[in-house]
Amino acid sequence: MKVVIVGGVAGGASAAARIRRLDEHAQIIMIERSGYVSYANCGLPYYVGGVIKEQEELTLQTPESFWDRFRIDVRVRQEVTAIDPEGKTVTVRALDSGKIYTETYDKLLLAPGAKPTVPALSGVSSERVFTLRTVEDTLRIRRFVEGQKPKTAVLAGGGFIGLEMAENLAEMGVSVTIVQRPKQLLAPLDADMASFVHA
């Protein structure tokens, strides 16, 4: 059996390891658009803040360690651009070279993750506006914070990652303002629990 997994962060990497445990003979290919796999998103703000010191500590596995440990073929900086369910193929574009190729599969698993919501406002393309979802995003933010030493920051979103980012920036002496649509931080919490976070 040949399994192609689209996405190599939490969901895709966990699924790949589980499939290997269930079938030691399966051919498993994991395709990830970013340059990193198997990283914990919740740790990203702590690298910006310097709590996590080394970049290598952000990732649990590398493409090489996935192969050595699980015999899983991990392809980073490659993007699935089309799926043909009848022909059981995916079209893949290598982001560094632009090369396009087709990969066959018996089973296809989609785990591409989320995409940051960027409001359609003027100025969002500024080099001073960031999203935080990938390791690459984290490295960009850290370079900016270390190089520019900002005094203030506005964070759009008061979810888990937003609050962790606020905490780390505040610890660095940055004055942080959080704006968001819901009426409370951490929307999954009951209002009485969120009141402790607000305080």
Sequence-separated (6 or more) residues with CB below 8 Å from residue 99: 93
Largest Cα–Cα distance of the chain, in whole Å? 56
pLDDT tens readout for residues 30-80: 999 999 999 888 899 999 999 999 988 988 899 999 999 999 999 999 999
Q: Are residues 105 and 160 in the same domain?
A: no
Three-state secondary structure along 8-36? CCHHHHHHHHHHHHHCCCCEEEEEECCCC
Helix (H) or strand (E) holding 154: strand 152-156
First to last CA, the chain: 54
In terms of residue numbers, what domain contains 34? 2-110
Q: Are residues 63 and 158 in the same domain?
A: no
Q: Domain containing 179 — which CATH number?
A: 3.50.50.60
Please count the structural domains in the chain.
Answer: 2
Q: Are residues 32 and 98 in the same domain?
A: yes
Q: Are residues 18 and 74 in the same domain?
A: yes
| Rounded percentage of the chain residues whose pLDDT exceeds 70 | 100
Q: Are residues 105 and 46 in the same domain?
A: yes
Q: Are residues 166 and 94 in the same domain?
A: no
Q: Which residue has the tokens 């989609």?
A: 110
144 belongs to a structural domain: no
130 belongs to a structural domain: no
- pTM value? 0.87
Annotated catalytic residues are 42
117 belongs to a structural domain: no
